[in-house]
Amino acid sequence: MTQFTRRDVVAGLSAIATSGLAAPALAQAAYPSRPITMVIPFAAGGPTDTVGRLIAQAMSADLGQPVVVENVGGAGGTLGAQRVAGARPDGYSILLHHIGMATIPTLYRRLAYDPVNGFETLGLVTEVPMTLIARRNIEANSLAELVALIRQRGENLNYANAGIGAASHLCGLLLMKAVDTRMTTVPYRGTGPAMNDLVAGTVDIMCDQTTNTTEQIRAGTVRAFAVTTEQRVAALPDLPTSAQGGLPGFEVSVWHGLYAPKGTPAPIVARLNQALVKALQDEGIARRFADLGTAPVAAARATPEIHRQFWQADIAKWRPLIQAAGQFAD
Ligand code: MLT
């Protein structure tokens, strides 16, 4: 019988490993082999959370592994982004973020992560109109009356938002510029909790995405004054645009995209993009998005390349505007 020494065994194993003969046996388990964490950089119950949970559920079905949502809210969406930028680039940590990815690089001059080069793009998700709303007993019945009230009460009115860099913050800045009056801003970890306070009447005004406001507007728990897009939204046909209500130029909508940490291998990026595109084509998602005043992006636009170009162009668009306003987070 042939006797093998320890040295023979080691030499044999390393020859097999380098020859590729052992590939099937030694190969990594196919991706994904365990649950994936999707970080939402705002509180549960808000618009980013709503979009993220719908997408996560549909992606889970395609990937054959749970995509588990983790809300890491605070600091205008930078804490959640930091979590994913610093995670292992192995496809098990992804980030669903919004327009803040384009404004944060200029608004925040001291961040513990690279907000421009710290991510791989996985694809655009949706673009959502915003609505200007207030507690239901606000002393105004039209946009013109609300503008008059803001000018009269100024900092005695509270404006809720999700922190510097949040969409609700940007919308508030545009509103205050349009009416040339400051209000007192009240930051939350997301507009989910801010909405609770608006419904309870403990804050006065908010501007937020239709994905968070449509059902409250329909239920009459808040009062709506305008949608901040050029066209009305089909889900809220009675709500005038800001231009129709007398504030032309007060326009903003919010795009969302999916990201992985920089250095995530290309085959994993491609697999995640494939699952995202499938989710965007899901009829249930399209119906739910439509009911909330939005739509999934067309599959042709949901590529990592188009997402990167769109994101970088938006950073370049916002930079001079933020610098001119001179309002930074630090
Ligand atoms: C925002 O204002 O940026 C969002 O509403 C944040 C959120 O999803 O809560």
Same domain, 301 and 289: yes
Nearest to 294 by CA among 133, 129, 143: 129
Q: Do 66 and 205 share a structural domain?
A: no
Q: Is residue 233 part of a domain?
A: no
Residues 212 and 163 in one domain: yes
Say whether both 137 and 218 belong to one domain.
yes
Q: How far is the CA of 266 from the centre of ligand 1 (A)?
A: 30
298 and 263 in a common domain: yes
Q: pLDDT tens, 193-229?
A: 999 999 999 999 999 999 999 999 999 999 999 999 9
Q: Which residues of the chain have pLDDT under 70?
A: 1-28
φ and ψ at 139, to 5 degrees?
Answer: -85, 55
Q: How far is the CA of 189 from the centre of ligand 1 (A)?
A: 8
- What pLDDT is attached to residue 191? 97
Check whether residue 152 and residue 118 sit in a common domain.
Answer: no
Return mean pLDDT, the chain: 92
| Domain at 145, CATH number | 3.40.190.10
Question: Are 145 and 108 members of one domain?
Answer: no
| Ligand 1 atom at shortest distance from the alpha carbon of 212 | 5
AA letter at 61: A
Q: Give the CATH number for residue 289.
A: 3.40.190.150
Report yes or no on 10 lying in a domain. Answer: no
**Is 19 within the bounds of a domain?**
no
Same domain as 175, residue 112: no
Looking at the fold, whether 124 and 134 belong to one and the same domain comes out as no
Nearest-CA residue for ligand 1 atom 5 is 191
- β partners of residue 37: 68, 93
176 in any annotated domain: yes
Res 28: pLDDT:
57
Number of domains in the chain: 2
Task: Give the domain range for residue 55.
Answer: 36-128+254-325
Given 227, 246, 262, the domain boundary residue is: 227
Q: Output the ligand 1 site: residues, CB below 6 A.
A: 42-43, 46-49, 98, 162, 166-168, 190-192, 208-209
> Does one domain contain both 120 and 161?
no
Tokens found for residue 39: 């970080």
Residue 5: predicted pLDDT: 43
Query: 122 and 270 in one domain?
Result: yes
Dist CA 39 CA 133 (whole Å): 27
Q: Does some domain include residue 76?
A: yes
Residue with tokens 């645009």: 241
Cα separation of 11 and 13, whole Å? 6
- Do residues 122 and 166 share a domain? no
Sign of CA pseudo-dihedral 197, 203, 205, 206? negative
- Quick check: is 4 in a domain? no
